[in-house]
A and B are shown apart, each in its own frame.
Chain A
Amino acid sequence: MSGGIAPWAVKPGPSKARRAALYLLVVGWLIFGSALWVRLGMPGWLSSRRPPVVLEAFVGETVIPYQAESLVAAVQTQPFCCEVRFVSADEAHAEAVKDDRARLLLEAYGSNPFLRSIRVTLCPNSIEAFRDAEVWLRKQPGITAVRVPEAMLQRLIEGEALVRSSGLAVAIMAAVAGLLVVLGGLSLIGASLEDELAGWSRLGAGAGQLMARSVRVVALPAVLASAAAGALMELVGLVLRFSDTLSAWNIPAVPDWPHGADWMLLAAGATAGILASAWVVFAVHRTRGR
């Protein structure tokens, strides 16, 4: 200040309380950030862990090779399709005879009973829409039947729904816990500032001057703490991504720290900080600096 700094930039008051509050804010934002991580990272993580789901569309006997190729090309243009392969009857037979029991049966049968087919591997994010993909395939000329791995899909979708709802519950609890800790930190800073601002008010400071001080003492630490928590989460995400420990222990990959979560944390920090600053000024305004 002696260098000409504005008086609203005076050193904060009780440093111990404010330091404790700053730690609380960082911890609170870390818990809140974990909630964001679970909520935003879960869909991508589940999607990345999905097993390949293959629909098999059987091609009628009258379909000539040129038509089959056109069919494959048409399937490739569909958004649900990640991979498509035409399988001839001979290829299907060759695959089947790899299984000893099936080979015995096929030898007893004599001729090749397999139909030609188009195997469509669904994109991981299109698995919920497998029914639409099945209907579309059935409507294509030359397709006689479509085989869908119903039981496996059912298990997959139900399992994912369970994980997703559990994740949401954990995320909500973590978000509430995080915000409560943040609220505790902000209350601690606010309480220490209220007394100081009451003194400013007695000296005649206007609402703008009180708000400037409040923003510096309350909102700025809240934003800085949320930025620090975001940076810490980003760092943890990077360490987890490139750490060999998880793969060595055969632990499933942790979802990446979601893109945009840093900004969400910053926005949450700024919003909470500004609201708390305004609340402190309002309290001084209400008590008229008593």
Chain B
Amino acid sequence: MLQYLHVGKKAGDKWLFADFNCEVRGGEVAWLDGGPGAGKSVLIDMAIGIDSPTTGAVFVDSASISKAGFSALQRIRRGISLVRDDDRFDLISAVEWMELGLWCAGKNREQTHAFAREAVSRSGLRDLSDVPFCNLSGGQRAALSLSRALARKPHLMLIDWPGIFDFAFPPHLAEDFRQFISDGGAVLATGKPGGPEFDISGRAVSLDPKGDAQ
């Protein structure tokens, strides 16, 4: 599903990490374990093609992300859901934000509208559908982000939001997340999925700043 092969990243003269190798298969949850500045977010960026490795290669479904052309990259991205608290569409309403994510994933207009309403409801924010995204609290944004990530029906979910699993989500959202994994979805996160609602086992992938990743 997702594979890092001898991946290294240089920031200026300094190696952020080197020879990082990791594979996340379908139905598997992995979280990156490393201190601040170790390069966890950089690895997530590489998986979605926002950043590229200095050495090595990143593969999603056997396709090299850094070598993929724009159209191929967009096709790959439609199968990935990125959960991150840096969204740039904070002027639009919660349901618009949801629709945008679904539409970009290739859903048609009717599906987009119906799925978005449903996904907002499942995040427990039905009453806040028309509230601007920027007016939502951190926990509400987290629930909405996770709900959207699941509604996109991805193969791979990248979660770059340390502490997201500490929020109290509606029980059925955690259930959807577990269902996603049991259906063969892969998850790579920068924080350990846990919390009272998320009873998920996974494995930690250690990211050593000196480059001795395992």
Contact = CB atoms under 8 A, between A and B. Distances in A.
Interface of A: 1-2, 4, 6-8, 10-11, 13-14, 195-196, 198-207, 209, 285, 288-290
Given A1-B96, A2-B95, A2-B129, A201 B103 contact: no
B96 A209 contact: no
Given A1-B96, A203-B82, A206-B74, 11 more contacts: A7-B103, A8-B103, A10-B89, A13-B88, A13-B91, A195-B88, A200-B100, A204-B78, A207-B70, A289-B50, A290-B50
B77 A202 contact: yes
A157 to B, nearest CB: 59
Contacts, number: 83
A195 B71 CA distance: 19
Interface string B69-109: 01101110111101000011101110110011111111001
Looking at chain B's contact residues, the main secondary structure is helix
B109 A6 contact: yes
Contacts of A8: 103
A136 to B, nearest CB: 67
24 contacts: A1-B93, A1-B95, A1-B99, A2-B96, A2-B130, A8-B103, A11-B92, A11-B96, A13-B91, A195-B88, A196-B89, A199-B87, A199-B88, A199-B89, A201-B74, A202-B50, A203-B82, A204-B105, A206-B74, A207-B70, A209-B103, A288-B49, A288-B70, A288-B73
Interface of B: 48-51, 70-71, 73-75, 77-80, 82, 87-89, 91-93, 95-96, 99-106, 109, 112-113, 129-130
Contacts of A289: 49-50
A32 B49 CA distance: 42
Contacts of A285: 70
Contacts of A201: 74, 77
A161 to B, nearest CB: 54
Nearest to B100: A7
B102 to A, nearest CB: 8
A207 B77 CA distance: 13
B164 to A, nearest CB: 18
Given A7-B103, A209-B104, A288-B49, A203 B77 contact: yes
A288 B196 CA distance: 38
